[in-house]
Structure 1
């Protein structure tokens, strides 16, 4: 058997980031930035007020000073009013600070005299002297023009997209999100809403994978289901899928009707036994266009764990992620459980207390124990050398959120 770490590494090596494309900010969410975003101008663009209040010369605004209000500067205004001795300008948050002013006194630090029809008082009295530069956001204090606002490799979330817009860009260059085709195989599979006859089961793997892809910021290209006697159709679907990667479930082992292996092994997809439980039978290869093909076991828990351990990191590498792995923690087992002989174990677990972890079900890591998926909050990864986890043992845990 091939160590699971070795299998994952060869998948990651084969998964090269997709070509970069320039897209509008509205389409860039969740993508990985392929080139630096450089500010077109200083951020902020000009000295502006951080408070609603009054722009003043600080030297003329000690506590108790009475200043005549001679101007009113709103956000977006292009005005730059002159301020004479003993004068102030009412100013709104974000408005440009008059060149003649060097501080802003907030409304709550003033007493205002009678106001005109626009609500502008004729005078104010300062009740708390401003500090030097008080409440003035200086031009370029966040970033100077020409500075790198966002570095290549950053995943673009809402805050990052806002930073790109503030830097003066409506488009960014990103690695596009991979489009992934999903194909479930098995004559026994029926629609979830159907009524199964003897030997039939509801098909859940495509539901699991479609949701997992979306949750990982990836795009679902297509979903198909193939019977065990449709090897030629399966091969055509793999070749024709308009996708950057293909995931197949079922038919990858050594059974008499393992259609995936029969159809794809002649095309260069390698099928191996991996030292992991669940998920020992795994297949991997590439299409003629370089799109990776992942052939997973058919049991749902094996599909779920194989996706998390092997497929998701490789797909995120396609998407341009430098670090495609889930967050990992060391936790203490709060209950004992058995481990498979000679294979690493990937066990769905629940978090127990501030630093504990316990199996999600009493059934262990069997690939048929679908109920454990619904309860699982993480995956415990136990080395092949461990035969039994004892209460209190330190366990490496892959967090699922």
Structure 2
């Protein structure tokens, strides 16, 4: 497929056929880069703020975090054992006997000298005496008591089990690079360096709405043909995982005036608008019409399952603002909403918010059972990642994969990704797997 996407800042995206998933991602990334460049020209300084560590989880680091100290700050022991000068070591199994002259604890350095035939009982993290360069772990000794230890010469090499000053990190070096989506381990690292606050990108404001006359809010009675709106709650949870500011615009009825008013209101408040429903080819789907009035939109059919109908584009600045609003029109089916969010929206939000790593973690696993698949579209099957009796990673589907079966997402912990040209899968085949959640 060629010439499917033509885009410039002053013209819409034009599509004539179903896009491959990779082509859709590229189109989104290109437009997001344009918005980032425009935003930097308008107000780069206003997009950065300082937050304390307890507010920084899942924020995106705006500047390299430079270490103000050496880590470790001094040579120290990497083991519980005995510190000594390694010049006495050799390659034989002859036993060396050393006199124990004292003990060094973490935070309580030993004051005194350690002679050539002497050693110091030392704990992990304790400072190394100036005249010791090697640590023998206690379990490697032939005998050890309060006064002497003995061990074979070849049990340890000179310099082993000693952590050198600045070995992990040197003053002025980047401990965490700009663009990191900050994790608990990053906050712990910052705290270990004595850093109490971090420069992060301003949180994106993301407006969400659901479109459809059949939708009802929680607490309302269900009449014939109506359903509860679940999509806004799924989207709220997904956006909270990214620590973004959410503007809930509620349920909008299927008429042009209501949709137009909702879009204008959202564009006046938000950096991004995400709607669900109203993007298929039904007579009551007015989103395309409204987008053509308010901005540029590329309507596409993506060669994927689920989530084939999806709109993407940009709302022009409303009165009193110079900010353009990124727009995603997601399908109405609950599973398709989450699939398209994971595969397109999440990465775009991270990219727009300054993240350097925008794709979810990937791995591979062995199919437990056969999977039917037709070539010609990318499929995202909901699945459970586990481990077989042989210890190898395995994956199995959560059952029926219909776009309206929300339980299939609730039970899953990953997507099995079946590429565009992939055909049927046999049990035992290795498959690409995208994890839902990270651990640290």
TM range (shorter): 0.7 to 0.9
* TM-score normalized with structure 1 length: 0.77
Paired residues of 2:179 and 2:357 also in contact (CA < 8 A): no
Aligned to 1:291: 325
CA-CA distance at 1:306 after TM superposition: 1.7
- 1:81 equivalent in structure 2: 112
CA deviation vs aligned residue, 1:4-49 (integer Å, no higher than 9, x gap) = 4333221111224684444433333334444433333322111223
Task: Give the structure 2 partner of residue 128 of structure 1.
Answer: 151
CA contact (8 A) 2:216 2:222 kept: yes
* Residue 204, structure 1, aligned to residue 195, structure 2: no
Q: Alpha carbons of 1:394 and 1:54: their partners in 2 closer, same or farther (altered >3 Å)?
A: closer
5 Å matches for 1:113-262? Answer: 113=146, 124-128=147-151, 131-133=157-159, 135-167=161-193, 169-215=195-241, 217-228=242-253, 229=255, 230-241=258-269, 243-262=270-289
8 Å Cα contact 1:38/1:149 also seen in 2: yes
Per-residue CA deviations over 1:323-343 (Å, capped at 9, x if unaligned) read 423326586694454659xx6
1:378 maps to 2:394: no
Query: Aligned to 1:64, what secondary structure does the other structure show?
Result: strand
Gaps of 5+ in 2: 1-16, 40-46, 90-94, 318-322
User: In 2, are the aligned partners of 1:24 and 1:171 still within 8 Å (CA)?
Assistant: yes
Counterpart of 2:404?
368
Aligned CA distance change for structure 1 residues 398 and 4 (closer, same or farther; 3 Å): farther
Task: Tell me: CA distance 1:204–1:128, structure 2 relative to 1, closer, same or farther (3 Å).
Answer: same
Contact 2:64 / 2:176 at 8 angstroms: preserved in 1? Answer: yes
TM-score (normalizing by structure 2): 0.71
1:399 matches 2:399? no
| Count of matched residue positions in the alignment of Structure 1 and Structure 2 | 381
Residue in structure 1 matched with residue 27 of structure 2 by the alignment: 10
What are the superposed Cα offsets for residues 263-294 of structure 1, whole Å, 9 maximum, x if unpaired? 44311142513133433332222242133111
Cα shift readout 1:186-232 (whole Å, capped 9, x = no counterpart) = 222123454311121011111221222334x3425122322314335
How large is the RMSD of aligned CA atoms in angstroms? Answer: 3.9
Residues 91-102 of structure 1 mapped to structure 2, 5 A cutoff: 91-102=122-133
Q: Say whether the 8 Å CA contact 2:61–2:182 is kept in structure 1.
A: yes
Aligned equivalent of 1:270: 297
Give the deviation of 1:125 after TM superposition.
Answer: 1.1
Distance 1:168 1:339, change over 3 A: same
Q: C-alpha separation between the residues in 1 aligned to 2:337 and 2:124?
A: 54
- The 3 A distance-change label for structure 1 pair 83 and 381 is closer
Deviating more after overlay: 178-187 vs 103-112: 103-112
Aligned to 2:279, the other structure's residue is in SS state coil
Among 352, 375, 397, the alignment partner of 1:318 is: 352
3-state secondary structure, aligned to 2:336: helix
Corresponding position of 2:77? 49
CA distance in 1, matches of 2:338, 2:408: 11
Change (3 A) 1:299 1:105: closer
Contact kept? 1:42, 1:140, Cα under 8 Å: yes
Instruction: Tell me how far apart the structure 1 counterparts of residues 373 and 137 of structure 2 sit (CA, whole Å).
Output: 66
Cα deviation, residue 138, structure 1 = 2.2
Whether contact under 8 Å (1:58, 1:103) holds in the other structure is yes
Distance in 1 between residues matched to 2:311 and 2:119, nearest whole Å: 75
Structure 2 CA distance for aligned equivalents of residues 98 and 392 of structure 1: 60
Q: Which has the larger radius of gyration?
A: 1
SS in 1 for 2:71: coil
| Change in 2 beyond 3 A, CA 1:263/1:333 | farther
TM-superposed deviation, 1:356: 7.4
Query: Paired residue for 2:7?
Result: none
1:281 partnered with 2:306: no
Match in the other structure for 2:339: 305
Gaps in structure 1 of 5+ consecutive residues:
114-123
**For residues 313 and 398 of structure 1, do their structure 2 counterparts lie closer, same or farther at Cα, with a shift above 3 Å needed?**
farther
